[in-house]
Homo-oligomer: A and B are copies of this chain.
Amino acid sequence: MNDVARHAGVGLKTVSRVVNGEPRVSPAMLKKVLTAIEELGFRPHEGARVLRRGRTACVGLVLGDVADPFYSVLTRAVERTARANGHLLFTASSEEDPEQERQLVQALCAGRVDGVIIVPTGGDHSYLAPDVAAGISVVFVDRPVQGIDADVVLSANVDGARQGVAHLIQQGHRRIGYLGDAEKIFTAVEREQGYRRALADAGLPYDPALVARGRADPEFVHAGLQRMLDGPEPATAVFTGNNRTTVAVLRELAARGDRRTALVGFDDFELADLLEPGVTVVAQDAAVLGRSAADLLFQRLGGDRSQAHTIEIPTRLIPRGSGEIPPATA
């Protein structure tokens, strides 16, 4: 910038004014500076600007996995909102590891971003206190969090799951299996809760033998389904707690040649409607989740100091057929 000032024969501050589009610059000066900038190929140094102004015009997003369709849609929504507010977006995947999440969040907070949106992996987030005190805004999405008071945006997990399982019960199923994420993941606990509530509402017993919790990999799903479907009192329907698990179950059912077991999944996914039968799901709106979280964040960045909000986004049951397979007449 110094070079530009010299080259244009003006003061340093005048260049700064031009670069920032400040109003009180005479046309003559403006022209001189502009051509000097052009000739030297000058680009303002964002780092220095950040140092001086204290704001980065960047926000961060930390989630489990960008390649998970649910999160990639959420990411997209956050990015859109960020851009609409003149901010750039950092994205980072925690791979569901609390320690990695912590490192990423701290790296982001270290002067790189004005605010962060986090899909927390669980555990205590009180380590964020210094950063919040330092003026960084934090919003949690998809899962709530302990150890810190902050805005949270959630799906209606319990009720959504309850609704999905109720749909199966309504179709005549009495033995309904549940496969979902490990217990350390909040949404898994909530959705299993919804599963139990639906059973209780219908006066059906809760059978731990029909419940499997773990990562959505083929081995886990294979073992889980085997246990539920090949026992003496097999399940006639399965409720899955997330996207990844639903797909893994579909694959496993196909591998077993099983077309009789009914299925309802939490979270919609692409092509669910084109499979045969179409997969009935409890859809959560990832875009709305992301947008709401981002909106909250920018409200905070805009100076909103009100009490922490918790927003719950409703889910929607989309019947497509896979839930309507009647139980085998025993």
Chain A 80-91 near chain B by CB (<8 Å), digits 1 or 0: 000100001111
Whether A112 pairs with B88 at a CB distance below 8 angstroms is yes
B67 touches A75 (CB 8 A): yes
Q: Which of B45, B104, B111, B247 contacts A270 (CB 8 A)?
A: B247
Question: A43 contacts the other chain (Cβ, under 8 Å)?
Answer: yes
Chain copies in the assembled complex? 2
Given A48-B51, A131-B43, A91:B93 Cβ within 8 A: no
Q: Does A271 lie at the interface of the complex (its beta carbon under 8 Å from any beta carbon of B)?
A: yes
Interface centre among A44, A47, A48, A271 (most CB of B within 10 A): A47
Q: Is the CB of B79 within 8 A of A66?
A: yes
C-alpha spacing A58/B56, complex, angstroms: 14
Can you name 10 A-B pairs with beta carbons within 8 Å? A43-B130, A44-B111, A45-B51, A45-B111, A47-B51, A47-B111, A48-B111, A67-B73, A269-B270, A269-B271
Contacts from A to B (Cβ < 8 Å): 41, 43-51, 56, 58, 65-67, 69, 72-73, 75-76, 79, 83, 88-93, 104, 106-112, 129-131, 133-134, 247, 250-251, 254, 269-271, 273-276
Question: Which 8 residue pairs spanning A and B have beta carbons closest together?
Answer: A46-B111, A41-B130, A47-B50, A67-B76, A72-B72, A46-B110, A45-B111, A47-B111
